[in-house]
Structure 1
Amino acid sequence: GYELGRAALDRGKAVSYFHYLDGVLVPVANQRLPDCSDASLYDEMPTEKYQALLADGAEVVCCGLCVDARGIDPETDYPEGVEVGLLPDLADMLGEAERVVSL
C-alpha cells in the first residue's frame, strides 16, 4: 500500500487509507522488525513511511472498534496525523474516491 500511495501522491493525486481489522496494527509506532537491511526489505519502519505519507498530504484513518479491540492507544501508538474513525467514515471516503484499491 505504501508504494501505491507514494506514487499517487507524487503524481498529485489525493490518497486516503482506511485500516480495518488487523490492518490497524500496520501504522503502530515502535514496531520491531527483523534486520533485513541487506535486502532493503525494511529500509524504513512502517511508522516512518506513514509519517512521510502524512507529511505529503495523505489521509490515514483506522477503524476505532478495531483499534479498541486490539488494545491500541491512538495517542501514543500511532504517528501524529493518523485518525481514528468508524465505518461511516469509510463510506464517506469511498463516496469521494476517484479510484479504490483494496489490499
Structure 2
Amino acid sequence: MDRQLAFETEGERLTGQLRLLLIVIFLLGTAVGFFTGSARLQQTLFYLGGIGLYFVVYLVSFLTIRTGKYRSQFKYIFATFEMVGLFIVFLGHVFVEHPEV
C-alpha cells in the first residue's frame, strides 16, 4: 500500500468514527422528536430511511477498510451516498403535510 492510500484509508477510518457518532445523535434526535410529538410518523420514517442509508455507508466503509479493499475513489462514492441520505431526510419535509402551517 502506498503512502497516499494509507493516508486516505486512515482518514476514512476516522470519518467512520465520526459517522457512527452522528448516527447515534441522529437516532436520539429522531426518537425525541417522535416521542414528544414534534415529528409525525411519516416524517420520522423518512428520517429513519436517511439514517439507515447513512448506516449502510458506515458499514460498507468499515468493511472495505477491514478487508483491505479500500480504494481512493471510494471516498467519493461514500460521500455521494451520504448526500442521498440527507436528501431522503429532506424529502420528509417536502412530502409530509404539516397541518399547522
Structure-2-length-normalised TM-score? 0.27
**Larger RCO of the pair (alpha carbons < 8 Å, separation 6+):** 2
The structure richer in helix per residue is: 2
The structure richer in strand per residue is: 1
Who wins on radius of gyration, i.e. which is larger? 2
